[in-house]
Amino acid sequence: MGRTTLPADAGMAFVYTEDHAGPFWMKNTLIPLSIAFYAGDGRILKILDMEPCDADPCPLYDPGVAYRGALEVNEGAFAGWGISAGDRLRITSP
């Protein structure tokens, strides 16, 4: 929220200890993002594009499935990297 840019190789991960359900929103987010919802084994379940929003209420982005985590990156980055639903990701610490 509040960011005006995001480096091309950066993102934000939301990691849950158990399966989670529910939407994300873009309240006070200034840049368009893509979000990949993934399962406990890292398999990408769904990728959605999300638009900035300063209205109230903002649209909700719901994958329609339970997920273990979500990864937000610049809009279109997953497509540009050739990543789609069914692919696997791995989140590691530096």
Question: Residue 84: inside a domain, yes or no?
Answer: no
Residuewise pLDDT in 10s, the chain (94 residues)? 788 999 998 999 999 999 999 999 999 999 999 999 999 999 999 999 999 998 889 999 999 999 999 999 999 999 999 999 999 998 777 6
Question: Residue 54: inside a domain, yes or no?
Answer: no
Question: Residue 36: inside a domain, yes or no?
Answer: yes
Which pLDDT belongs to residue 2?
A: 81
Question: Residue 90: inside a domain, yes or no?
Answer: no
Which pLDDT belongs to residue 63?
A: 98
How many structural domains compose the chain?
1
Which pLDDT belongs to residue 91?
A: 79
Question: Residue 94: inside a domain, yes or no?
Answer: no
Question: Residue 44: inside a domain, yes or no?
Answer: yes
Determine the Cα angle at 34 with ends 28 and 4, to 5°: 40
Handedness of CA 17, 26, 87, 13 (dihedral sign): negative
Question: Residue 83: inside a domain, yes or no?
Answer: no
Cα gap 92→82, rounded to integer Å: 20
Domain membership of residue 14 as a residue range: 1-49+63-73
Which pLDDT belongs to residue 94?
A: 66
